[in-house]
């Protein structure tokens, strides 16, 4: 039952990144450093229309790693996977290494 | 008394999909997996006008399977059938297998 | 004293349809089936102006049978008859047999 | 001290019609039938400007008999006469015999 | 220290008219008849800009006698004189004899 | 550490004028007469954009003496000096002798 | 794990300036003088679109020293560094020596 969700309007579907609680060498990371609330963009909506009917595309794209607000987001379970749905305007920014 | 409802403006008429509580082989599905709140689009309104009088069509169409918000929606009984009416903006997205 | 009301702006004057509590054969209908809150459009306003002064006509017309919201509507008594006044945006849709 | 008020912007000056409590033949009318809250338009404002500076005229005119909302309206005493001031948008409609 | 205030944007500076409590012949006027809250326009702002940057002038002008709302208005003391500052939209209308 | 603040968008930086509590001849002024809340404009922002991207300049300029609202304004200390930051729309008007 | 955040829309990423509590000569500064809430702009979003789809750029740029409001701002930890995210409209102004 693998299902895909195409978000509507200016919504963004995100799969949250669970920050590692240990370093690669297995050392427990202090709880404080692993607080970054981020996720991978899985799908974006077609965008909304401004008052002249012009389409305003979503400002992030599939594959981006994005910084998420502390609150908000709608939980969506598709099969065994858990995603979160945000409005484009709620996404705080894009993370780059 | 089979009646049809043509939603007004940017409203969307949806028939909720009751998720199966058993697999085809009759095995009871754990309550948690069957929580997806979705439905079939039965009819859509003509859309609303932007401030320049341009028509902004509804972003989903008849036959789409859509993901519904946890709350909201107006219950509408037509004959023996039960539907729900949403605003286009409340629909979370379109589901594809 | 038969008086007529021409609704202002985007208001819609509706005469509520009292659903029959018995079938034609006189059998009492279970209370639940007769809950559809609908009415006949008696008159509509000229519409409102969008921000460019363009007229946005009302989306329903005289003679339409419309589905009404559970709440809202202003009661208007003209002579012995009782009507209800709604804003165009509050009308849920148009009913067709 | 007969004074005239020219309402500002989209305001409408109305003289309320006190419904007769007796028929012409002097028979007392049951309290319920005389509940129509209406009035005569005495003066209207020049209208408001839309966002492009275009003038949007008031939708009712001097001499119209209008249906008034149950609440609202600012009481204005000019000499011995009492009037009420409404916004154009609050007027429910125009009454015609 | 005679100072002048040029109101900003769509503000209107008004000097309230204190209604006479006696007739010219010195007879005390019943308290009720002297309730008209009016004033003389002393100065008006340059107006505000609509969303296209067009200037929307104030709808009343210096010298007009205007009807004031029961509440609101900012008290401004310039030297020994007391004025009140209103937004153009709060002025109820212009009074003419 | 003399620092300068360039207000952002439609903000206005004002240095409050402390009204003299004594006349030039040293006579104590009754507390009531010295209540005018005014200040000198020290710097203004570049203005905001209307919905078409047009720049709407601030309506007051550097050097103006302006009348300030009783409340509001953000206190800003630059070195030893104290200023207040207002939005253009909060400034009540310009004072001229 | 040095990570960079590109703020979305009209957001501004700021690194707060911790005001020195001592003069260069090591003398303790009275607590009151060191209250200026300012920071360095580290990154800005691409801006938002006005209703015609035109891009409205952020009004401050990377490297500016800006005056921050007393409240608001979202805390963002990137590696060991702490930043704050503001909306362009919340930034009070740009500080220049």
Q: Is residue C78 part of a domain?
A: yes
Q: Is residue B3 part of a domain?
A: no
A77 closest CB neighbour out of B35, B66, B88? B35
Q: Which residues share a beta bridge with C55?
A: C49
Q: How far is it, in rounded angstroms, from Cα D82 to Cα D69?
A: 17
Q: What is the pLDDT of residues E26-77, one digit of tens each?
A: 777 665 555 679 999 999 999 998 767 778 899 999 999 999 998 999 999 9
Inter-chain touch F96–E4, beta carbons under 8 Å: yes
Q: What is the pLDDT of residue B36?
A: 79
- E70 in Cβ contact with E53 (< 8 Å): no
Q: Is B17 within 8 Å of chain C by CB?
A: no
- Give the gap in angstroms from C-alpha B95 to the nearest C-alpha of chain A: 5
Q: What is the pLDDT of residue A60?
A: 96
Q: Is the pLDDT of residue A29 over 70?
A: no
Q: Which residues share a beta bridge with A6?
A: B94
Inter-chain touch G52–F49, beta carbons under 8 Å: no
> For residue E94, which residues of chain D lie inside 8 Å, CB to CB?
5-6, 8
Q: For residue G67, give the nearest of F3, F11, F5, F45 by alpha carbon.
A: F5
Q: What is the pLDDT of residues G12-25, one digit of tens each?
A: 999 999 877 776 67
The domain tally of chain B equals: 1
- B37 in Cβ contact with A85 (< 8 Å): no
Q: How far is it, in rounded angstroms, from Cα A43 to Cα A56?
A: 16
- A9 in Cβ contact with B12 (< 8 Å): no
Q: What is the pLDDT of residue E8?
A: 96
Inter-chain touch D96–C6, beta carbons under 8 Å: yes
> For residue C72, which residues of chain B lie inside 8 Å, CB to CB?
none
Residue F80 sits at φ, ψ, to 5 deg, of -90, -5
Q: What is the pLDDT of residues B6-58, one digit of tens each?
A: 999 999 999 999 877 776 677 776 655 556 799 999 999 999 987 677 788 99
- G42 in Cβ contact with G83 (< 8 Å): yes
- A63 in Cβ contact with A95 (< 8 Å): no
Q: Is A6 within 8 Å of chain G by CB?
A: no
Q: Is residue G78 part of a domain?
A: yes
Inter-chain touch G13–A50, beta carbons under 8 Å: no
Q: What is the pLDDT of residues C2-26, one digit of tens each?
A: 589 999 999 999 999 987 777 667 7
CATH number at residue C40: 2.30.33.40
| Mean predicted confidence (pLDDT) in F82-96 | 96
Q: Is C93 within 8 Å of chain B by CB?
A: yes
- G91 in Cβ contact with G40 (< 8 Å): no
Inter-chain touch B50–A49, beta carbons under 8 Å: yes
Q: What is the pLDDT of residues B54-92, one digit of tens each?
A: 788 999 999 999 999 988 999 999 988 999 999 999 999
Q: What is the mean pLDDT of chain G?
A: 87
With a CB cutoff of 8 Å and minimum separation 6, the contacts of A25 are: none
Q: Is residue G41 part of a domain?
A: yes
| Strand blocks (E) in D1-97 | 4-7, 11-16, 38-44, 48-49, 55-56, 65-67, 74-78, 81-87, 93-96
Q: Which residues share a beta bridge with C38?
A: C67
Q: Is G39 within 8 Å of chain A by CB?
A: no
Interface with chain G: mutation pick from F1, F2, F6, highest number of G CBs within 10 Å: F6
Q: For residue E18, give the nearest of E43, E1, E35, E41 by alpha carbon.
A: E35
Q: Is D31 within 8 Å of chain C by CB?
A: no
> For residue F35, which residues of chain E lie inside 8 Å, CB to CB?
77
Residue written as tokens 């989306």? C59
Q: What is the pLDDT of residues D1-39, one digit of tens each?
A: 458 999 999 999 999 998 777 766 777 766 555 567 999
Listed as ranges, residues in chain G with pLDDT below 50 are 1
Q: Is residue E3 part of a domain?
A: no
Q: How far is it, in rounded angstroms, from Cα C46 to Cα D59?
A: 9
Q: Which two tokens stand for residue G50?
A: 């006005």
With a CB cutoff of 8 Å and minimum separation 6, the contacts of G11 are: A92, A93, G44, G45, G85, G86, G87, G88
Q: Is residue B1 part of a domain?
A: no
Q: Is C97 within 8 Å of chain B by CB?
A: yes
Q: Is residue D20 part of a domain?
A: yes
Q: Which domain holds residue F43?
A: 11-19+34-94
Interface with chain A: mutation pick from G5, G48, G74, G79, highest number of A CBs within 10 Å: G5
Secondary-structure breakdown of chain D: helix, strand, coil percentages, each rounded to the nearest 5 = 5, 45, 50
Inter-chain touch D4–E97, beta carbons under 8 Å: yes
Q: Is the pLDDT of residue C31 over 80?
A: no
- B49 in Cβ contact with B56 (< 8 Å): yes
Q: What is the pLDDT of residue D30?
A: 65
| Model ipTM over 0.85 | no
Q: How far is it, in rounded angstroms, from Cα F59 to Cα F88?
A: 7
- Give the gap in angstroms from C-alpha F3 to the nearest C-alpha of chain E: 29
B93 closest CB neighbour out of A8, A49, A77? A8
Q: Is residue C39 part of a domain?
A: yes
With a CB cutoff of 8 Å and minimum separation 6, the contacts of C26 are: none
């Amino acid at each position: 039952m693998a299902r895909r969700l195409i978000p509507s309007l200016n919504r963004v579907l995100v799969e949250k990144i669970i920050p590692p609680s240990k370093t690669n060498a297995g050392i427990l990371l202090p709880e404080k450093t692993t607080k970054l609330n981020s996720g991978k963009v899985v799908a974006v909506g077609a965008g909304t229309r401004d008052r002249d009917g012009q389409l305003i595309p979503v400002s992030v794209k599939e594959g981006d790693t994005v910084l998420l607000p502390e609150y908000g987001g709608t939980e969506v379970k598709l099969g065994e996977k858990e995603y979160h749905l945000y409005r484009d305007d709620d996404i705080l920014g894009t993370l780059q290494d």
